[in-house]
Amino acid sequence: MKKHFFTLLFLLMFSGVSFAIDAKVKEVFPFFPSLLTTKTGQQVSSADFESPSVCMGCHPDIYNQWKGSMHSNAFKDPVFQALWALAEKEAGPAMRNLCGGCHTAIGTVSQEVKVENGKFVTSEVGMEGVSCDLCHTISETRMHISPTGLPQNASFVVSPGDVKRGPYKDSKSTYHKSEYSELHTKSEFCGSCHNVFHPVSNFHIENTYTEWKFSIYAQKGIQCQDCHMVPVEVAVQTAKTLKKPEKLPGRPSNVGPMRDYMYTHEFVGGNAVITKIMGSDKHSEMAIKRLQNAASLDVKFNAGKKGELSEIIVKVKNETAGHNLPTSLTEVREMWLEVTVTDDKGKVIYKSGGLDKDGNVDPSAEMFNAYAVDEKGHHTVKPWEIVRFEYNNTIPPKGSKTVKYTILTPKDAKKLKVDVKLNYRSYPQAVANLLLGANAPKIPTILMTQKTLDVALK
């Protein structure tokens, strides 16, 4: 009943892009539109949280894994910063809490986020993004009273203090109190920030948790942590077998015991751009490795007679992602097929999916993403404007999409070479240019996988 009551409040209180906050909603969600809260429901100081550099004293390996990750750069990411600034400019001050709730939860619960010289800043520990003491002071999820009944928009409770929570039932520390938390081993923990819904319409702008929830991975009990908090090779094997390893030995603390199973903290996803820009080649390379193991291609060529039509059939399968491929902000993600056919003299007789001089993908390319529109039906890449997807061409876990191409078979060729690439970019060059202007980096095209056929013509 309580969940339905708050859902009704959300639906009744907001219209258009208005984010006026009703007192009853404010009481339950004090940092609304973020669903984040504290144990007391009150604002706290960032001084209540430990710096990751303190945690490093006993957890150096975990600290070094985390440092340079997208979690460590969640606040400092220049593309996010620019998008956040644009959101606040166009949609109003409520966007500070909505975006900050996940990218700097510490800055949000302390209400210490401000703008200086055109950039968001906060306390030093708040600028560490998704940091050690943030995650390990989360005490519960509030998904049961979210508007959708799913984790979303930072729907968790932060309880800063001496108690640190984690996956071990027998953990002991001379520096802090330790408490077992089953939540830290479940996807619902991650889903709080990896499900983002529009606070007015509750449209699923980012739907990563939900994509997992209704997948074969969830059915087999494989959680987000089992793929994103293990080495890439282990994640790939887990996805292929749908079985997680019984052991993954490691020592989480240099003053603690060796564990049969230790989660790593690189949190590797598909963003190889920002990690590199922020100075971590290691995390960038790991992201590329994840992408290069995510999908497979199957290519067939049905040859017609010379001078007649032939058909190329390409099947793209999501092999190892426990969510859709691509996921997250799918309205800006670019995963596409690049198909090139050449004859025995090297002449290109067919091309689809190349880049133009400005770095834009050929509009005729088969693109695997979502097409978002605003309330007037116009295309938009601004999350706060999205009211629906006109289509969603992402590939579900263990699912596939088949694409067919028709070409005119040359009369004078003896053989053809068919080259098919599956490419990826976190966002288009045009989006980077929009947000960062002259300072925009060139967004690299990452080759996920490739298949080549040599076809003899009769």
Residue 165, Cα to own-chain centre: how many angstroms? 24
- At 426-444, the pLDDT tens digits run 999 999 999 999 989 999 9
Q: Say yes or no to pLDDT of 14 above 60.
A: no
Question: Across the strands, what pairs with 254?
Answer: none
- At 290-324, the pLDDT tens digits run 999 999 999 999 999 999 999 999 999 999 999 99
Q: Say yes or no to pLDDT of 23 above 80.
A: no
Contacts of 164 (CB under 8 A, 6+ apart): 133, 136, 137, 173, 176, 177, 178, 179
- At 104-113, the pLDDT tens digits run 999 999 999 9
Q: What are phi and psi of 315, to 5 degrees?
A: -110, 125
Mean pLDDT to the nearest integer, 126-130: 98
Distances (CA, A) of 376 to 30, 290, 370, 380: 32, 38, 17, 10
Residue 24: pLDDT band with limits 50, 70, 90: confident
**Cα distance between the two ends of the chain:** 70
Percent of all residues in the chain with a pLDDT value above 90, rounded to a whole number: 93
pLDDT, averaged across the chain = 94
- At 381-432, the pLDDT tens digits run 999 999 999 999 999 999 999 999 999 999 999 999 999 999 999 999 999 9
294: region left, alpha or beta (phi > 0 left; psi from -120 to 50 alpha): alpha
**CA atoms of 399 and 324, how far apart (whole Å):** 9
Contacts of 383 (CB under 8 A, 6+ apart): 83, 87, 196, 198, 205, 329, 331
CB-based contact 348:418 (threshold 8 Å)? no
Rounded to 10 degrees, the C-alpha dihedral 320/205/447/266 comes to: -60
Beta pairing class for 388-392 and 295-302? unpaired
Q: Say yes or no to pLDDT of 456 above 70.
A: yes
Return the pLDDT at 20. 55
Return the pLDDT at 146. 96
Residue 1: pLDDT band with limits 50, 70, 90: very low
CB-based contact 72:66 (threshold 8 Å)? yes
Burial letters 382-418, b for 16+ CB under 10 A, else e:
bbbbbeebeeeebbbbbeebebebebebbeebeebeb
**CA atoms of 276 and 285, how far apart (whole Å):** 9
Residue 11: pLDDT band with limits 50, 70, 90: very low
- At 348-357, the pLDDT tens digits run 999 999 999 9
Residue 26: pLDDT band with limits 50, 70, 90: confident
Q: What is the pTM of this model?
A: 0.94
- At 234-289, the pLDDT tens digits run 999 999 999 999 999 999 999 999 999 999 999 999 999 999 999 999 999 999 99
User: Alpha helix locations (H) across 359-447?
Assistant: 429-436
CB-based contact 172:53 (threshold 8 Å)? no
**CA atoms of 118 and 42, how far apart (whole Å):** 28
